[in-house]
Amino acid sequence: MSVGSTIEWTEATWNPVAGCTPISPGCLNCYAARMSTRLGSMPNKTGKKYGGIVDKSKSGRPVFNGKINLDYDALKTPLSWRLPRIIFVNSMSDLFHKNVPLEFIQEVFKVMEQCPQHTFQVLTKRPGRALQVAHKLNWPDNVWMGTSVESKQYYERIRLLQKIPAKVRFLSCEPLLGPLPRIPLKGIHWVIVGGESGPKSRPMQGTWVMRIKEQCEKKDVPFFFKQWGGVRKKEHGRELQGQTWDEMPEACIG
């Protein structure tokens, strides 16, 4: 099912896959795991899709347990959307998780290719697998490929992303857990920055955000500031230096 989204940098979400596995510190307070807990309790088709994919950690946090549910019914949904939309693919999973079969990934890419009116944003913490299978996928111009980089320990994800033949490659520095000095921005077309939100969220320092913004300006890379985050993220807002920063690689849309 495709639905409208409150995520600031997209317009809709499309989730043909449900489930994941924690892979790095950015996964600690995963909002998708929290949401899956609620969705999995529903006595309907949605409950079946999201049921059994989340356990509780020793600290009581909901955590994905590695089980992957493929939603074949949702696979063709974007074909019914005629008006152009920017669509975040798999906000509740990772398309390049090892337990998502290559054949299913290919089906997702086939649908994206059949919908040139839309822009599809694919975000992964597993760019290594994405690169491994990239030659077995068609990469239409309306598919943006991104990776999450929560700290400088994960710059290797950027280097892997740079080798993937997507027209637009982007970074999601959310939740930003530390400074990101000297980001390798060659071949990167967009950077999103955001603080962690929700229960037990970890704080983000303003200097970390400003240094990233300065690097983007120097390299002429569009910069999008999503949020400061916090337990009550709306109270902290989205302004940086007194304004919102919603830059996008607009020339590549449509």
CATH level 3 topology of 2-17+69-252: TIM Barrel (3.20.20)
- 224-233 per-position pLDDT tens digit: 999 998 888 8
Tokens 């043909």 -> residue: 16
Is the pLDDT reported for residue 4 higher than 80? Answer: no
pLDDT bin (cut points 50, 70, 90) of residue 3 is: low
Q: Cite the beta strand spans of 6-141 per DSSP E.
A: 12-14, 17-18, 54-56, 62-64, 69-70, 86-89, 119-124
Tokens 């549910």 -> residue: 69
Coil vs helix vs strand at 172? strand
- 124-143 per-position pLDDT tens digit: 999 999 999 999 999 999 99
- Under 8 Å CB-to-CB from 240, ≥6 apart: which residues? 206, 209, 210, 213, 225
Compute the C-alpha angle 136/122/120, nearest 5°: 100
Phi-psi region of 52 (alpha: psi -120 to 50; beta: other; left: phi over 0): left
Contact 111, 143 (CB under 8 A): no
Where are the domains positioned within the chain?
Answer: 2-17+69-252
Is the pLDDT reported for residue 196 higher than 70? Answer: yes
Coil vs helix vs strand at 102? helix
Q: Mean pLDDT across the stretch 3-21? A: 92
Q: Could you tell me whether strands 2-4 and 190-194 are parallel, antiparallel, or unpaired per DSSP bridges?
A: unpaired
Is the pLDDT reported for residue 254 higher than 70? Answer: no
Is the pLDDT reported for residue 169 higher than 50? Answer: yes
DSSP assignment of 214-249, as one string?
HHHHHHT--EEEEE--BTTHHHH-S-BTTB--B---
Q: How far is the C-alpha of 222 from the C-alpha of 51, rounded, in Å?
A: 38
Which amino acid, residue 187? G
